[in-house]
């Protein structure tokens, strides 16, 4: 039953996505005024998963900060517009985009499914899907999680990756909103393990006073990009150009060093 629920959840998400945008893609392409509209509005509204430290999260003052925020701020400065940071539910990210609530989404994993519904930039950072366990855990390998509770983000690439493994039938899967919720529940001993993005995992481990480990087994690598509406290519292209310029002049590397201690970006 547990496996069926997980598979139904994933299938339902894909079905809803397909139905929601079938009409959009069936219409003839209109003139692309995406860049012009942002420039005229004087702002770029960026959708953020604020439970994804150190990419985007709320600090102790409640301000949304992180690598993605600093990168987006610099992009907006060079565009000549203001940055509007908009927290979004990850499960509703494409709906937010096509409803016009936001202009783009940062830290989107590049997948064949997403390529069909959004217009993606080139990747700017890469990530791994890893399991975090407390220091007291005896688990060192994926097989050691048998009978354990594992937290994973709902409607994420991590959830889909977990469904595809043989261990899925042997663990109790707990679906949560974001990486931060998973790691906090792990800290509160409500979970035995958390399947999260390695960027969040290392940030959590290094900033925690307790001991945590990352299992040797991972569920693969993913590359992250910025996503726009499928036909908003002019806006995508301009943002892509700016990120390339930021990489060339060293600004992107400096932002990376601020949050990761070194330049881990992969912009070409």
Per-residue model confidence (pLDDT) at position 16: 44
Sorted by where each begins, the domain ranges of the chain are: 7-18+30-126+223-260, 128-221
Q: Do domains 7-18+30-126+223-260 and 128-221 have the same CATH topology?
A: yes
Per-residue model confidence (pLDDT) at position 168: 86
The Cα 153–Cα 33 span in angstroms is 35
Q: Mean pLDDT over all residues of the chain?
A: 90
Read off the pLDDT of residues 178-216 as tens digits, 9 standing for 90 and up.
999 999 999 999 999 999 999 999 999 999 999 999 999
Q: Is the CATH number 3.40.980.10 carried by domain 7-18+30-126+223-260?
A: no
Fold of 128-221: D-Maltodextrin-Binding Protein; domain 2 (3.40.190)
Contact residues for 7 (Cβ-Cβ < 8 A; gap 6+): 163
pLDDT in tens, the chain (268 residues): 444 444 444 444 444 444 445 545 444 467 999 999 999 999 999 999 999 999 999 999 999 999 999 999 999 999 999 999 999 998 899 999 999 999 999 999 999 989 899 999 999 999 999 999 999 999 999 999 999 999 999 988 999 999 988 888 899 999 999 999 999 999 999 999 999 999 999 999 999 999 999 999 899 999 999 999 999 999 999 999 999 999 999 999 999 999 999 999 999 8
Tokens at 86, concatenated: 């908009």
CB 75 within 8 A of CB 44: yes
Coil, strand or helix at 211: coil
Per-residue model confidence (pLDDT) at position 8: 43
Identify any residues that bridge with 214 across adjacent strands, giving them in sequence order: 132
Q: Where are the alpha helices (DSSP H) in the chain?
A: 2-26, 34-41, 67-79, 93-98, 112-115, 157-163, 179-187, 198-207, 233-248, 251-260
Give phi and psi for 140, each to the nearest 5.
-130, -20
The Cα 266–Cα 261 span in angstroms is 15
Per-residue model confidence (pLDDT) at position 4: 43
Per-residue model confidence (pLDDT) at position 7: 44
Per-residue model confidence (pLDDT) at position 97: 95
């Amino acid at each position: 039953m547990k496996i069926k629920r997980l598979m139904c959840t994933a299938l339902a998400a894909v079905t809803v996505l397909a139905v929601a945008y079938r009409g959009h893609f069936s219409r003839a392409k209109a003139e692309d005024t995406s860049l012009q509209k942002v420039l005229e509005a004087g702002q770029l509204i960026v959708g953020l998963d604020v439970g994804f430290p150190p990419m985007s999260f709320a600090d102790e003052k409640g301000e949304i900060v992180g690598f993605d925020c600093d990168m987006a701020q610099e992009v907006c400065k060079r565009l000549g517009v203001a940055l509007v940071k908009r927290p979004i539910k990850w499960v509703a990210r494409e709906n937010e985009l096509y409803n016009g609530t936001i202009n783009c989404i940062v830290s989107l994993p590049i997948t064949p499914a997403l390529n069909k519904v959004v217009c993606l930039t080139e990747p700017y950072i890469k990530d791994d899907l890893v399991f975090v366990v407390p220091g007291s855990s005896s688990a060192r390998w994926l097989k050691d999680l048998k009978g354990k509770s594992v937290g994973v983000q709902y409607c994420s690439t991590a959830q889909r990756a977990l469904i595809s493994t043989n261990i899925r039938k042997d663990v109790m899967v707990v679906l949560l909103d974001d990486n931060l919720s998973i790691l906090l529940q792990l800290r509160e001993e409500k979970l035995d393990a958390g399947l999260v993005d390695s960027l969040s995992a290392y940030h959590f481990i290094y900033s925690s006073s307790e001991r945590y480990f990352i299992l040797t087994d991972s569920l693969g690598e993913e590359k992250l990009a910025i996503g726009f509406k499928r036909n908003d290519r002019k806006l995508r292209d301009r943002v892509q150009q700016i990120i390339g310029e930021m990489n060339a002049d060293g600004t992107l590397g400096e932002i990376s060093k601020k949050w990761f201690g070194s330049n881990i970006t992969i912009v070409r």
